[in-house]
Amino acid sequence: MPEQLTARGISWMVYGSLTGDFGDNDLPYFEPLPQVSWVLAPLAPVRASPAPVAWGEHASATVPQALTGNQGLWARTALFITFDENGGFFDHVPTPVAPAATPGE
């Protein structure tokens, strides 16, 4: 997604903490500008089993609460929340990728 946004001249930014960053997040290596933002919750204690569900609920509620506290910002915001709905039980399965020699990959 960062490549697609950058190619279209759309600026973006990543917000998160260093807690739970296991070196698998490549977004900080792109130049940050904020028309689009990613807000990263801590990885280990929030989104994976055996963490309590309430921790993920808290992380999912924090950003909407902050956005709705600023009506001007909220009026022009689209919010998408993504999460590991399987609690990390399928992390051992390789992510699907495009076949070798696919144009643009």
Nearest 10 degrees: Cα torsion 89, 25, 6, 75: 70
Q: Does 97 map to a domain?
A: no
Residues 46, 36 share a domain: no
Residue 10 structural domain: 1-40
Domain count, the chain: 2
Instruction: Tell me the pLDDT band of 66, cut-offs 50, 70 and 90.
Output: confident
- DSSP label of 12: E
Same domain, 3 and 35: yes
pTM for the full predicted model: 0.54
Q: Are residues 66 and 84 in the same domain?
A: yes
Residues 16 and 53 in one domain: no
pLDDT value, residue 12: 86
Q: Are residues 81 and 65 in the same domain?
A: yes
| 32 Cβ contact partners less than 8 Å away, ≥ 6 residues apart | 12, 13, 14
More confident residue, 67 or 41: 67
Q: Does residue 50 sit in the same domain as residue 36?
A: no
Q: Which residue has the higher pLDDT, 97 or 22?
A: 97
Residue 61 in domain: yes
Q: Are 83 and 43 in contact (CB under 8 A)?
A: no
**pLDDT higher than 70, residue 48:** no
- One domain, residues 32 and 70: no
Cβ partners under 8 Å of residue 44, min gap 6: 20, 22, 51
**Residues 15 and 35 placed together within one structural domain of the fold:** yes
